[in-house]
Amino acid sequence: MTDRDRSLLDELAIRKLTDAYSHAVMRGDGSAAAACYSENGILSAYNAPDVVGRDRIGSILDSTLAPLKFMILTCTNGIVEVAGDTAVASWSVSEWLAVDDGDKLNCNFGVYEDTLVRLDEGWRFTRRRFQVFGRGQVPFSGKFSPRPNLEHDYTVPRFLDPA
């Protein structure tokens, strides 16, 4: 395999990791989202104190996501730079969420800055830093439905197995 092939496969794996994280958030599965982090990974968001460690991140995400009717996290326009077994990435972020059956949707817009490491189980975030540059609410006249009951298993790490 050429260096270019390896670099492209690494970038694809990092994009897949980022997608798996967003998908876990959409499912309301904080533990699955936390599995995208290294054991001592750090989640840094909303100018709050850093959340350190995969278990703590999972616990915080589970308690944050549980009361929501839904949350859609979209990470796009990613820039990924791989350097051996480490990488950095940045993503444009849109979050849409509903706290209750009200007539408003909450929205957050910002950027993720990620540092990553290649481990035996594949690429994992060592730090995700979310900087918000816009928050608010928009009117919503539609109907909320329960979170989807998916037919397939998309949990991490099975979904990200490097083999």
Query: Is residue 129 in a domain?
Result: yes
Query: Is residue 150 in a domain?
Result: no
Query: Is residue 82 in a domain?
Result: yes
Query: Is residue 154 in a domain?
Result: no
Least confident range from 42-46, 70-74, 146-150: namely 146-150
**Residue range 141-153: mean pLDDT, rounded:** 81
Q: Is the pLDDT of residue 161 over 80?
A: no
Query: Is residue 119 in a domain?
Result: yes
Query: Is residue 132 in a domain?
Result: yes
Locus of tokens 């919503």: 140
Of all residues in the chain, what percent carry a pLDDT higher than 70? 94
| CA-wise closest residue to 88 among 112, 69, 56, 120 | 112
pTM over 0.95: no
Query: Is residue 156 in a domain?
Result: no
CATH number, domain of 48, equals 3.10.450.50
Query: Is residue 151 in a domain?
Result: no
**Residue range 78-89: mean pLDDT, rounded:** 97
**pLDDT-based confidence at residue 157 (cuts at 50, 70, 90):** low
Structural domain span for residue 134: 3-139
Q: How many domains would you assign to the chain?
A: 1
